[in-house]
Structure formats: C-alpha cells, structure tokens
Amino acid sequence: MVAKDTMALAKASYDRCCQAPEFLQTFYKNFLAACPEAVPRFANTDFKTQTKLLRHAIGLLLIFPNQPNKEPNLLSRLAERHSRRDLDIEPGFYGPFVSSLLATVKQFDGMYSPTVEAAWRETIAPGVDYMTSKH
C-alpha cells in the first residue's frame, strides 16, 4: 500500500512536468539513449500519438496503487498490450524506463528533491511490478 500523501507528491510533480510541452518528447530521447535496444521498437512510431498514450499511461501508474486488488484493473489492457502476446516489451526495459522517467522529471520539475524522487519510485513501483508480471 502506498500512502495517499506519497502518491499526491508524485502526482503534483507529474503535473508540474506536464506544464512543459517538451517533457514527454525529452523522456523518449532520454529513454532511447539509455536503452538502445528499444530503438528498433520505435522505428515506425508516430510520436505525437505515442506521447499522448505515454501521458495517459504514466497517469495510470500514478493512481494504480490506490485501486482495488482485482482483475481486470486499470492497467490490465496496457499490460496485455505490452505482453509477449502483443508488443512483447521485455521486463528488462522497465528499469531503463523508470530511470529515464526520473531523470526527465528531475530536468523538468523545479521542486524535484530526494523526497519527490522517492515518492515517484514508491508510487509507480506497484504498477511497474504488475506490468512485468503480466509479460
């Protein structure tokens, strides 16, 4: 269980980041630099659409810990899409995803601190764990 104030701290940080239109594009630059094996997966990607999907997915990760522990849940469709049965996003991609996300948050959130970083990590961990468990 993630405390509501921890989740609120991460969500407030995300809201600050999203005020910058280039936040999500910068995330993708950071992620693809940190995880070059993911680059081919984005070869034919429409990044305008992809950044909208990413904005929504991060929002889901930030509220996932507060959801009932039952199936299906708000990440079920996303997890299925990323599973070996569809896009086959290997669990090893999630570490660089989280690191790149936090590095980008650090770039864009003027109130970033070790406390904010810890709130992000704690808040998104259950969702990331769920996603990898459904691979």
Q: What's the total number of domains in the chain?
A: 1
Write the CATH number for 115.
1.10.490.10
pLDDT tens, 29-75? 999 999 999 999 999 999 999 999 999 999 999 999 999 999 999 99
The model carries a pTM of 0.96
Q: Which of 122, 121, 102 is nearest to 112 (CA)?
A: 102
Long-range CB pairs of 120-125, under 8 A, 24+ apart, other chains included = 120/10, 120/13, 122/2, 122/6, 122/10, 123/2, 123/6, 123/7, 123/10, 123/11, 123/61, 123/62, 123/65, 124/10, 124/61, 124/62, 124/64, 124/98
By percentage, how much of the chain surpasses pLDDT 90?
99
Q: Which domain holds residue 56?
A: 4-37+45-133
